[in-house]
Amino acid sequence: MSNSDDLKTVYLALNGRRTGPYSPADLRMQIRAGKLSDAVFAWRSGMATWLPLRDVLGELPPVPPPPPSAPSAGGKEFFADITGLDRLEGFSLRRFFAGIFARHTSEEVTDFFCMGGSDTRLPLNRVQTEWPSPWIFTRLMLMAVVLYVGFYWGVDMFRNLKLVPGCMFVGNFGIPFCIMVLFMELNVYRHVSFYAVLKAFMLGGLLSIFIALFLFGQTGFSAAPLAGIIEEPAKLAAAMLIGRNMMDGRALTGLLLGSAVGAGFAAFESAGYTFESIIALCMELKRGGEAPVDPGALMQMRAVLSPFCHVVWTAITAGGLWLMMGRQKEEGKPGSVLQALRDKRLLALFAVPVLLHTLWNCDWVQAFGIIAYGLLGLAAWITALRLVQAGLRQAAKEKSDAGL
């Protein structure tokens, strides 16, 4: 072992903090003993960015299988084993939203929405590989809330029915659109144009609804818990059709296009439920019967819950498909769509939104209200963030392979 291996030159990113320095020799011993993962991010002098430890240390000693442990400890790794998605490393909500209150110029917003063009595409050497801070999403979300409150107050204050469509538009489309922008900010490559994202949002949303309605008609499924078995494949199929020319094997590309299709699906579906409740209310009032579900309350409930269902569910399925295509290429396989769809890791990952969707529609889950929805949403977002992490590591590997 060379003397340079004994020098403490390597820093690690653990639990959102920089630790170290450590010597390469010590880190190799920890990896060999199974005390440290070679997937944690590391940095040493001369490097332009943080990379997985395996890339920093070069050739690593073989890591022995984990020792036998109690079922609860083994269960912690089960999801990573079947999906190939590592646990979150270096993620912090405080750092994630650190850019919200920072000063930003209007030119930064303009540059963001002009991304993806032939002369505005971000060069690889400027692609960041650390967790982004989605400040544009946050400000758009605040704007959407202010607009909705303004329209809602205006309807109540002035009793003017002409304000109702504005309230419906913001209520049904505002928050799903903002979550889609969040995934735009998470796409560190900045290589998908805003036009392509809007196309996935509008055409992909409509196409996914048509595919779902066709499948419902062919299968005869009507029970709400079975909707996930139909709607999740329908949305993934729409994302594949809309993004057929952008299947680059990058998880962040799939996450973005999937979130756009899911946002369109959620917005159009919510608009349909709102319109249906308005018609039902008018008919009951005309007959003098008991008023059904309040359209305003229904719209608000679906708006509040929208970040935790269709948008993130479709982001997971599409992000997983794109990621598996990329990994199959790394493994020396063709990386085709059909081959990726047969990948057991993708099938396991695809089961997550289907299961969450099924539970979301179960009566016994709905009985627990916002707590149950919050837990299901948390599970979805943890999975999505693991995919984002995989996408950031893909970007780091691309830069490393290019010598950047």
Q: Which residues of 147-164 are buried (b: 16+ CB within 10 A; e: fewer)?
A: bbeebbebbeeeeeeebb
Task: Let me know: does 192 contact 116? Beta carbons within 8 Å.
Answer: yes
In a domain, 49, yes or no: yes
CA distance 267 to 278: 17
Same domain, 100 and 25: no
Whether residue 264 sits in one domain with residue 164: yes
Task: Note whether residue 87 is domain-resident.
Answer: no
* Residue 200 sits in the same domain as residue 277: yes
What per-residue string of b and e applies to 265-290 under the rule 16 or more CB within 10 Å gives b? bbbbbbbebbeebbeeeeeeeeeeee
DSSP string covering 168-198: HHHHHHHHHHHHHHHHHHH-TT--S-HHHHH
Same domain, 330 and 233: yes
Predicted pLDDT of residue 64: 46
In a domain, 80, yes or no: no
Looking at residue 295, its pLDDT comes to: 83
Residues 109, 53 within the same domain:
no
Radius of gyration (Cα) for the chain, nearest Å?
23
Residue 284 and residue 327 in one domain: yes
Residues 372 and 255 in one domain: yes
Distance (Å, whole) CA 32 – CA 24: 12
Give the span between the Cα atoms of 328 and 317, in whole angstroms: 17
| Residue 306 DSSP label | G
Residues 21 and 100 in one domain: no
**Do residues 141 and 250 both lie within one domain?**
yes
In-domain check, residue 90: no
Out of 65, 88, 107, a domain closes at 65
Count of domains observed in the chain: 2
In a domain, 108, yes or no: yes
Q: How many whole angstroms separate alpha carbon 388 and alpha carbon 382? A: 10
292 in the same domain as 157: yes
Q: How is 216-238 classified by DSSP, letter by letter?
A: HHHH---SGGGHHHHHHHHHHHH
Same domain for 53 and 111, yes or no, is no
Q: Is residue 72 part of a domain?
A: no
The model's pTM is 0.80
The whole domain housing 243 covers 96-401
What CATH code is carried by the domain that includes residue 27? Answer: 3.30.1490
Residue ranges, the chain, pLDDT below 70: 1-6, 15-16, 32-34, 38, 48, 58-77, 288-292
Residues in the chain: 404
Q: Does one domain contain both 285 and 176? A: yes
Tokens of 94: 């405080």
pLDDT of residue 173: 95
Which of 49, 65, 81 is where one domain is finished? Answer: 65
Structural domain contains residue 83: no
Predicted local confidence at residue 73, as pLDDT: 42
Residues 385, 404: Cα–Cα separation, whole Å = 25
Q: Is residue 180 part of a domain?
A: yes
